C-alpha cells in the first residue's frame, strides 16, 4: 500500500512540474473537444506519437483558436491550413512529431522560428518552462502575442524579427525548432543551442524534396538524423542572401 502511495505522489509531482505553466482551458464547445480527442486517438497515436506529455498537450491546446474562423470546421482535421500569404499552420501530427523529437522536459527553454498564429508555441508552452518564438511578419507576431496572452500562455515570449539571427539575449536554448525550411542550419542558431541540445527543422528548398531532421549538438558539432520527408514553406529574410 505504501509503495502504491509513493508511486501516486511521484506521478502527481511529475505532472505538476510538466504542466506548471498550463493555463486554465478556455470555454469551448463539446464538439471541438470531442474532435480534438478523436484526432489524437485516431491520427496521432497510431502514427507514432507516443510521448505521454506530448499527447496530453495535443489534447489540451485548442487549435481552433489559432486558425481563421472560416476554417474552424477543419481545425481538428490532420492537415495544414492557410493563415496568410505563403504561410500555413502546420498539421497537428507534424507539430506533435517535432515536439516529441526535441524530447521535451519541464525545465527546458525552447526557441521557435516561425511563430505563425502561435499554435506550435502553445504546444511547447504546455510541456516546457519557457518558449521564445520569433515571427518575421510584425503584424502576425503582434496578433500571435495577443492571442497567446488571451489564452493564458504567460511563459511564451513573442517578438517580430528575422529568425536567422535567433534570440542571442536569451540564449542558450535546450531546443530550437524551425517551422520553415532552409538548406542549412543558420550558424547563429547553431551557436545558440546548448551542448547536448536538439534542433529540429525541415532541410531543403521550396518545391524540392525536404527532410525533417533532428540535429543534436555533440562536442560542438551538429549531428543530423533524418525523420521523414516533408514540405514546408521557406524561411525568408537574411537567409535568402546566403
Q: pLDDT by residue (tens digit) across 28-61?
A: 677 999 999 999 999 999 999 999 999 999 999 9
Task: Give the pLDDT band (50/70/90) at residue 158.
Answer: very high
Which one is catalytic: 31, 38, 90, 105?
90
Q: pLDDT by residue (tens digit) across 76-118?
A: 999 999 987 778 899 999 999 999 999 888 999 999 999 999 9
Least Cα distance to 183 among 242, 225, 237, 142 occurs for 242
Annotate 174-193 with b (16+ C-beta within 10 A) or e (fewer).
bbbbbbbbbeebbeebbebb
Residue 10 lies in a domain: no
Domain range for 122 is 29-241
C-alpha cell, 100: 516529441
Residue 18 lies in a domain: no
Asked if 34 is an active-site residue, the reply is no
Residue 54 lies in a domain: yes
Residue 186 lies in a domain: yes
The domain that holds 61 is classified in CATH as: 3.40.50.150
Least Cα distance to 114 among 159, 178, 158 occurs for 178
Residue 158 lies in a domain: yes
- Residue 157's pLDDT is 98
Instruction: Inform me whether the pLDDT recorded for 19 exceeds 50.
Output: no
CB atoms within 10 A of CB 112: 28
Query: What's the pTM value of the predicted model, to 2 decimals?
Result: 0.87
Instruction: Inform me whether the pLDDT recorded for 204 exceeds 70.
Output: yes
Residue 220 lies in a domain: yes
- Least confidently predicted of 76-80, 108-112, 130-134, 232-236: 232-236
- Decide: helix, strand or coil at residue 191: helix
What's the CA gap between 91 and 226, in Å, rounded?
19
Residue 228 lies in a domain: yes
Q: List phi, psi (to 5°) of 205.
A: -90, 160
Domain count within the chain: 1
- Decide: helix, strand or coil at residue 95: helix
In angstroms, the Cα distances linking 163 to 37, 63, 153, 204, 240 are 33, 24, 21, 17, 12
Residue 3 lies in a domain: no
Q: pLDDT by residue (tens digit) across 138-150?
A: 999 999 999 999 9
Amino acid at each position: 500500500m505504501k509503495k502504491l502511495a509513493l508511486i501516486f505522489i511521484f506521478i502527481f509531482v511529475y505532472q505538476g512540474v510538466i504542466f506548471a505553466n498550463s493555463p486554465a482551458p478556455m470555454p469551448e464547445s463539446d464538439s471541438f473537444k470531442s474532435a480534438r480527442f478523436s484526432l489524437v486517438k485516431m491520427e496521432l497515436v497510431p502514427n507514432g506519437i507516443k510521448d505521454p506529455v506530448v499527447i496530453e498537450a495535443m489534447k489540451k491546446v485548442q487549435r481552433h483558436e489559432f486558425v481563421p474562423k472560416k476554417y474552424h470546421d477543419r481545425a481538428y482535421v490532420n492537415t495544414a491550413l492557410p493563415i496568410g500569404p505563403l504561410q500555413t499552420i502546420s498539421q497537428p501530427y507534424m507539430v506533435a512529431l517535432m515536439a516529441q523529437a526535441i524530447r521535451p522536459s519541464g525545465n527546458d527553454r525552447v526557441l521557435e522560428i516561425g511563430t505563425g498564429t502561435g499554435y506550435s508555441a502553445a504546444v511547447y508552452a504546455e510541456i516546457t518552462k519557457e518558449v521564445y518564438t520569433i515571427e518575421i511578419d510584425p503584424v502576425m507576431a503582434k496578433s500571435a502575442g495577443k492571442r497567446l496572452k488571451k489564452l493564458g500562455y504567460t511563459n511564451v515570449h513573442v517578438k517580430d524579427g528575422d529568425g536567422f539571427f535567433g534570440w542571442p539575449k536569451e540564449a542558450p536554448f535546450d531546443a530550437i525548432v524551425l517551422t520553415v525550411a532552409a538548406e542549412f542550419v543558420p550558424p547563429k542558431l547553431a551557436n545558440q543551442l546548448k551542448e547536448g541540445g536538439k534542433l529540429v527543422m525541415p532541410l531543403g528548398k521550396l518545391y524540392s524534396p525536404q527532410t525533417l531532421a533532428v540535429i543534436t549538438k555533440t562536442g560542438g558539432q551538429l549531428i543530423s538524423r533524418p525523420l521523414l520527408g516533408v514540405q514546408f514553406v521557406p524561411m525568408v529574410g537574411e537567409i535568402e542572401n546566403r
